[in-house]
Amino acid sequence: MDDPSRAQAIELIRALRDEMREMTVRLAWLESRHATSYNGRVSEMRRDAATLRSDIQEAQYHIDRLQRRYLSLTSRVGALVRS
């Protein structure tokens, strides 16, 4: 991989991690509110929490893929072998 692609991957990973941290904080807040909420609001909070969990997992999936493709030693060695 070339350096601009690697640099772009690094920035995207950084942005995804920042977003994951924010989503994790929101999820923790929702889960803490769940214990004190009334019944009508609980199902909405569960849906929101499930959505956040899914988004966090998806962000982690993309981070893992970017790291494997652009930042791992294996991909750099493979690129050298193919050249």
Q: What is the pLDDT of residue 32?
A: 87
Q: Is the pTM of this model over 0.75?
A: yes
- pLDDT for position 43: 83
* Residue ranges with strand state E in the chain: none
Number of domains in the chain: 1
Count of other CB atoms within 10 angstroms of residue 52: 20
Q: Which domain holds residue 70?
A: 3-82
CA 50: distance to chain centroid?
A: 15
Residue numbers in the chain where pLDDT is lower than 50: 75, 77-78, 80-83
- Rounded Cα gap, residues 43 and 78, in angstroms: 49
pLDDT of residue 1: 53
